[in-house]
Each structure stands twice: as structure tokens, then as C-alpha cells.
């Protein structure tokens, strides 16, 4: 079922609804389609476009994929995304998510992705959040099943450090709340 990715990269797509009229770029491995002309794939590439809003993501996935609930790999890198939209949390089978080279600026929004039970690889470098000194600890803490982040393996030591960071941060927060 998991054939080559449906490739909609470098299409100058600004809104996801615009993608529906685009033709997938055929690569070396041709993609198979079902009787409804939907692709037999579990990967979608929407990278290197001008997408800023993920509002129609679910409709886009449904439009192109024969089994939209089985989307496992999503590349949204090099777009104009500034928020980690709740719609990403509905992609329950997602394993790999590329968001590098966007404009995400609120680090705590990464926490939303913690509900994805199979997410093991994420890229977020090249976003404003990367400048936060707690960036890697925060992401590893929020996504405990990560095996790779920003194309680099998550080590056992990083997992331990992220856990320590998380506990000390929560303790600091509760002390502040008790003071007010």
C-alpha cells in the first residue's frame, strides 16, 4: 500500500485547496491509483510551496490518498507555516513530519503533537523556535517516542536530560503559581 510519495512540491501552492487541481510530479517509481483515481500511497510531499494555513489539510489528504487515515509521512518543509495547527493531531498514523524551514514561533505548540502515537521523526530546524535555548529539550520532552529530530538521532542521554528539564520546569512553574 505504501508506494512512492504523492509529490506536490515546488508547485507554487498558496492554499491547500489550490493543490486539488495540481497534478502529482511523477518520479522514478510510478504511483498506482485505485478505481476512484486516488493514489495508493501513505506519503505526501507539499514542501517548497507558499502554504501558510493548514485548514484544508484533511480534505487535501482525502482528495489524493486512497487510504487517507494511513498517512504516515508528511513533508510540509519550506512553506510559510507559523503555527502547529490542531489538524496535524488528527493524522493518527503519522510517523514522519517535516516542518523545517517554516515560520513557527511558539515552542509550546509542539506539545500538541504529543497525541500522535506513532510519530518518531520530526524536523523543526529553520523555524524561529529553534532559537529558544530549551528547543531540543522541550521537543524531546513533548514527544517522548521520537527517534530522530532535525535529521539527528535522539540519544538516550538527551531523553534523560529532557526528562530532567521537564521536571525542573514544571517545579519552577508550580512555585510561580503558588506565589501569585
pTM of the model: 0.92
pLDDT surpasses 70 at 174: no
* Structural contact between residues 66 and 39, judged by C-beta atoms closer than 8 angstroms: yes
Give the pLDDT of residue 167: 86
Q: Strand, coil or helix: what is 149?
A: strand
Domain ranges of the chain: 6-179
Smallest Cα–Cα separation from 45: which of 74, 17, 16? Answer: 74
CA 163 to each of CA 116, 120, 178: distance values in angstroms, whole numbers, following the listed order: 19, 17, 23
Domain 6-179 has CATH 3.80.10.10: yes
Give the pLDDT of residue 83: 96
* Structural contact between residues 159 and 140, judged by C-beta atoms closer than 8 angstroms: yes
What would the mean pLDDT of 82-108 be, rounded to a whole number?
97
Amino acid at each position: 500500500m505504501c508506494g512512492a510519495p504523492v509529490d506536490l512540491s515546488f508547485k507554487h501552492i498558496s492554499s491547500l485547496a489550490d493543490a486539488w487541481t495540481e497534478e502529482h510530479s511523477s518520479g522514478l517509481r510510478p504511483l498506482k491509483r485505485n478505481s476512484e483515481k486516488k493514489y495508493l500511497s501513505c506519503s505526501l510531499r507539499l514542501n517548497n510551496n507558499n502554504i501558510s494555513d493548514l485548514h484544508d489539510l484533511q480534505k487535501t489528504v482525502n482528495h489524493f490518498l486512497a487510504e487517507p487515515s494511513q498517512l504516515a509521512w508528511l513533508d510540509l518543509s519550506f512553506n510559510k507555516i507559523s503555527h502547529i495547527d490542531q489538524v496535524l493531531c488528527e493524522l493518527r498514523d503519522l510517523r514522519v513530519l517535516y516542518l523545517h524551514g517554516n515560520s513557527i514561533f511558539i515552542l509550546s505548540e509542539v506539545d500538541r503533537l504529543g497525541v500522535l502515537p506513532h510519530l518518531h521523526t520530526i524536523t523543526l530546524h529553520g523555524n524561529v523556535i529553534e532559537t529558544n535555548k530549551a528547543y531540543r529539550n522541550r521537543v524531546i520532552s513533548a514527544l517522548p517516542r521520537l527517534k530522530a529530530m532535525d535529521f539527528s538521532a535522539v540519544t538516550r542521554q538527551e531523553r534523560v536530560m529532557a526528562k530532567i528539564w521537564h521536571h525542573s520546569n514544571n517545579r519552577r512553574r508550580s512555585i510561580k503559581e503558588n506565589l501569585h
